[in-house]
Amino acid sequence: MAELRAYAVAAVEVRALAGADPEERGRLRELARRTWAAPRPRTRDLLGPMHRRVPGAPVIAADDPTPADLETLLAGSAVPPERGTATWRLVEALVAALARSSTRVTDTRVPPGLLVPTGLPVPAVAGLVVGSCSPVRAAALTALHPWLGGFDGPEGWLATAARAGRPVPDVLVVAQG
């Protein structure tokens, strides 16, 4: 079984992450900076000079997003396969900041054919399913019923979007496991 995270955000807003216009790039950089600002504290190297790093250099894990990953995404360029996991983490952080609402459920499997690809130039990663669907189709995931019901059905999603002056949200699903 998998952990599933769902976000109420329009698919067009997700696709706009790749190749964002200059004004939007500044806003997305700020969102990413707030999410990934503090590098992990450096731990003492007990193996000595053989593995010594520059003092004060941040420790960045291979799956942590870097500024280069963000710039690659914002430019709409293809993401190298070895940076796929880090870039998907970055995409999810940006989507979480853009989403009107989100939820997390466990022990849920995504039915085949439910989701459509995001259209982002990020390679697939083993064990990670990312895609979107309409709120009506998302109802196929019974674990999402309480969250979806909080929007008063499809009419509620339309009204929320109209009040915010944003596109009607879809359900972006990130499933891992």
Mean pLDDT across the stretch 80-95? 96
CA distances from 64 to 58, 68, 143, 152, 154 (A): 12, 11, 29, 37, 36
Mean pLDDT across the stretch 96-107? 92
From CA 43, how far away is CA 35, in angstroms rounded?
22
What is the chain's mean pLDDT, rounded? Answer: 86
Residue-level pLDDT at 164: 83
- Write down the domain spans for the chain: 2-176
In this structure, of 16-25, 69-78, 147-156, the range with the lowest mean pLDDT score is 147-156
Residue-level pLDDT at 163: 86
pLDDT band of residue 83 (cuts 50, 70, 90) is very high
Task: Express each pLDDT in 130-177 by its tens digit.
Answer: 999 998 899 899 999 888 887 766 677 778 778 888 898 899 999 998
Mean pLDDT across the stretch 54-67? 76
From CA 83, how far away is CA 103, in angstroms rounded?
26
Closest CA to 68 of 54, 56, 79: 79
Q: By the 8 A CB rule, do 16 and 76 touch?
A: no
Residue-level pLDDT at 6: 96
In percent, the amount of the chain with pLDDT more than 70 equals 84
Residue-level pLDDT at 173: 96
Burial class (CB in 10 A: 0-12, 13-18, 19+), 117: exposed
